[in-house]
Amino acid sequence: MTISDQYFDGERPLYESRGLRLERVRIGEGESGLKESRQIEAVDCEFEGKYVIWECEDVECWNCHFAESDRAPLWYNRNIRLYDCLIDAPKAFREVDGLTLERIQISNGEETFWYCRNGQLTDLKIENGTYAFMHAKDLRISQLWLNGKYAFQYAKNIEIHNAIFDTKDAFWESENCTVYDSTIRGEYLGWYAKNLRLVRCRISGTQPLCYCQNLIMEDCVLAPDADRAYEKSTFATQM
């Protein structure tokens, strides 16, 4: 079934939908517009109401906008795919199992991607990403630009390629995370991390990589301001 050029608002207007394609649909003021839905496609849609996609499965969004008013829009979902979307909503993703993102911009990355797992994220820009990716696991990320604080705390089994980080306290108490060919700027990088591996990275900011266990550094460069590095850390291989 296809719905085109319509407006919905109120409480749960499309609750428990199945096999639905939305084209140029606007879901306005209200809550839980598509909660508990399955096999949903959304193209050129505008989401403004809160909690619009919760407890859903097999959802694909193309060129959609999640407005600032759509607080916490994508929580507790399975198999979610977004392409060419703009997300202005805070706390956008949480507890998502199976996540594919390509060419996504997030203007308010506060507390997003908490407990998300099993995902492939490509060409992702996150602004104001305070506590982004906390407790995330089993993610592969490439072409990431992230600005904020405290990213990837308690994260596990994360692989990142070609990223630019401007984030204080990234990778604190993380486990089994690997970062390739990236620029990492910020204070207190990777404290208390286990099995953190950095490959061909440029690192700047005071006191990086202290209290790490089994740290691996391969062909990395530390900027002059990266003082007091490696305090109380142990290394898995020779630097």
Q: What is the pLDDT of residues 16-46, one digit of tens each?
A: 999 999 999 999 999 999 999 999 999 999 9
Write down the number of H helices and E strands in the chain. 0, 23
Question: Does residue 82 share a domain with residue 132?
Answer: no
Any long-range contacts for 49-52 (C-beta under 8 Å, 24+ apart)?
49/9, 51/75, 52/27
Query: 63 Cβ partners below 8 Å, 6+ apart?
Result: 43, 44, 83, 84, 85
Structural domain of residue 195, as residue ranges?
A: 106-239
Q: Is residue 38 part of a domain?
A: yes
Instruction: Name which of 30-39, 64-73, 123-132, 228-237 the model is least confident about.
Output: 228-237
Supply the pTM of this predicted model.
Answer: 0.95
Instruction: Count up the domains in the chain and report the number.
Output: 2
Q: Is residue 154 part of a domain?
A: yes
What pLDDT shows up at residue 237?
64
pLDDT at 63 over 80: yes
Q: Is residue 101 part of a domain?
A: no
CB atoms within 10 A of CB 63: 14
What pLDDT shows up at residue 228?
92
Mean pLDDT score, 205-231: 96
pLDDT at 154 over 90: yes
Q: Is residue 112 part of a domain?
A: yes
**DSSP code for 69:** T
Question: Does residue 194 share a domain with residue 116?
Answer: yes
Mean pLDDT score, 169-174: 97
pLDDT at 12 over 70: yes
Share of the chain above pLDDT 70, in %: 99
Q: Is residue 100 part of a domain?
A: no
Question: Does residue 201 share a domain with residue 125?
Answer: yes
Mean pLDDT score, 39-66: 98
What pLDDT shows up at residue 47?
98
Mean predicted lDDT score pLDDT of the chain: 96
pLDDT at 239 over 80: no
**How far from 161 is each of 207, 218, 228, CA to CA, in Å?**
23, 14, 26
- Please, are residues 107 and 127 in contact by the beta-carbon 8 Å criterion? yes
The pLDDT tens digits of the residues spanning 90-110 come to 999 999 999 999 999 999 999
Question: Does residue 207 share a domain with residue 177?
Answer: yes
